[in-house]
Amino acid sequence: MTEESKVIAEFDPIKKPPKRNKFAFACATLASMTSVLLGYDIGVMSGAALYIQKDWKITDVQIEVLIGTLNIYCLFGSFAAGRTSDYIGRRYTIVFAGTIFFAGALLMGFATNYAFLMVGRFVAGIGVGYALMIAPVYTAEVSPASCRGFLTSFPEVFINGGILLGYVSNLAFAKLPTHLSWRFMLGIGAVPSIFLAVGVLAMPESPRWLVMQGRLGEAKKVLDRTSDSPEEALLRLSEIKEAAGIPAECDQDIVTIDKSKDNSGQGVWKELLIHATPAVRRVLIAGVGIHFFQQASGIDAVVLYSPRIFEKAGIQSDINKLRATVAVGVVKTLFILVSTFNLDKYGRRPLLLTSVGGMVLSLLTLAGSLTVIDRSHEKITWAIALCITMVCAFVASFSIGLGPITWVYSSEIFPLRLRAQGTSMGVAVNRVVSGVISMTFLSLAKAITTGGAFFLFGGFATVAWLFFFTFLPETQGRTLEDMHVLFEGFSWRDSLHGKKSSDDESTAQDENSKSQLQMGATTTKSTNSQ
């Protein structure tokens, strides 16, 4: 094969971007379905909490703690998942997550008192933490660059699907006796975890993890099936080998890896936090920052406490509150699908900035409407309708950008050696902020009113928009091993003035133009020779 032909082969995946790799699609779908566990727990607890409070006569503070602590418990799972996935592999870590959540759901369903219920929340939280970290990592590592954004957004799609299932479960069991309704709502969550754990066993292991274990032959087979062309599979394998420190000329099926230099965790935390290079430091800030702002904008307050919000807006019937909540879940799920099919078309930054801009407007309008209702002594129909509309607008705006892109962006920017631990740090921050908000929302609403709480979330969303605009470059179309090009030698002033983004876009355009010229030249040459 001539050098010119090799160049053409390397650009072959870019030549036909619309074609989806069906095997990679199936693997991403199975892995991402683990995120249903978190979504179901979030959705079902919003309604179950109403009936738990009625059954056991517990306080609002106890409800806040019950709902919010799951996010804190996730920390244990997400931190352990990085090391676990490096030892036993991404696939078996997903199975482990489903098994733990299964046990937690059963414990919650059979709880006899508040303390017993909290134990079940702890166990379920461990499983959710594992699932949150490993699903996007596995999906990013198995996906070809041409559709990585599309496939890596799947975890958020299934989180939304799980939330909707939880809302529907609330509505389905709402008419049972109070002491049974919430038990069925929580306990039924054990059922999907069984099917998920079994289904995941049909997936291959991550090719990047296989390379880090020295199993190059197996990694090549997986890459052959998950790449858009054989040439891309070879290119991806060579890039992973380079990142893993394996010589490019090494073509053995099994190689010995120096365990003191692999990504099993030794020295990774120092490399991330203490001896970080400017590029790694910026990757860490970007990865952690996007997770922080995703939750600081108040999405979990809306999802978990939507029945309370609708009560403040003027809806009194429990069934009507749950019906309105189901409508929110439907909107959230529909708009996440819009984002999923456009991530690789429009890129991360445009969708992210549009999403957060819409969130700012809807949050401030919702806050204003709730404030008007709170200060009025009579029912204001237009304000009630505006509140419901703005809740739907907020979750729709979140779903088209900030929701899925957080997981896509954070899973694709970390270097291979730091990916599992770096992603787990982002998930940890995500869960801490979510836990703080969900454990304090009712108390915060009492202290500064519900409208005031949403004005606060609107302020966080405004700061988030500025952070994303000045600090996050476009990663669309980049291979995972090529991310260092975006971050090496970065200065925040470059991003503020658009220099880095412009340079990246120009480079991408030059590379695309060059590839097209090379393709055209070769095609012409081939035609003439015939």
- Give the C-alpha distances (Å, rounded to integers) separating 346 from 283, 339, 396: 22, 10, 18
Sequence-ordered alpha helix ranges (H) in 259-380: 268-269, 278-296, 299-313, 318-340, 343-346, 348-375
139-177: per-residue pLDDT in tens? 888 888 777 767 877 777 888 888 889 889 998 998 899
Rounded CA separation 120/108 (Å): 5
| pLDDT for position 423 | 79
∠ CA 65-426-104, nearest 5°, is: 40
404-459: per-residue pLDDT in tens? 888 778 877 887 778 777 877 887 888 889 889 989 999 999 999 999 999 999 99
| pLDDT for position 30 | 85
Q: What Rg do the C-alpha atoms of the chain give, in angstroms?
A: 24
pLDDT at 242 over 70: yes
444-494: per-residue pLDDT in tens? 999 999 999 999 999 999 999 999 988 887 777 666 666 776 777 555 565
Contacts 24+ apart (CB under 8 A), 227-233: 227/13, 227/21, 227/24, 227/144, 228/12, 228/13, 228/16, 228/19, 228/21, 228/144, 228/146, 229/9, 229/12, 229/13, 231/9, 231/10, 231/12, 231/13, 232/10, 232/12, 232/13, 232/144
More confident residue, 366 or 247: 366
Sorting pLDDT into bands at 50, 70 and 90, what band is 265? low
Rounded CA separation 321/326 (Å): 9
Structure tokens at 22: 């069906």
Rounded CA separation 477/347 (Å): 9
∠ CA 112-118-123, nearest 5°, is: 110
| pLDDT for position 359 | 96
pLDDT at 7 over 60: no
Structure tokens at 422: 């770096």
| pLDDT for position 346 | 79
More confident residue, 426 or 3: 426
* Residue 298: how many other CB atoms lie within 10 Å: 24
| pLDDT for position 181 | 92
Sorting pLDDT into bands at 50, 70 and 90, what band is 527? very low
Burial of 83 (0-12, 13-18, 19+ CB in 10 A): middle
pTM passes above 0.85: no
pLDDT at 282 over 60: yes
| pLDDT for position 256 | 72
Mean pLDDT of the chain, nearest integer: 80
Q: Considering only 76-80, 127-131, 242-246, 496-500, which range has the smallest mean pLDDT? A: 496-500
Contact of 406 with 157, CB cutoff 8 Å: no
| pLDDT for position 529 | 41
| pLDDT for position 482 | 67
Sorting pLDDT into bands at 50, 70 and 90, what band is 505? very low
Domains along the chain with CATH numbers: 21-257 (1.20.1250.20), 274-490 (1.20.1250.20)
Segment (H or E) for 38? helix 36-56
* Residue 319: how many other CB atoms lie within 10 Å: 12
Contact of 439 with 447, CB cutoff 8 Å: no
Give percent of the chain with pLDDT exceeding 90.
Answer: 23
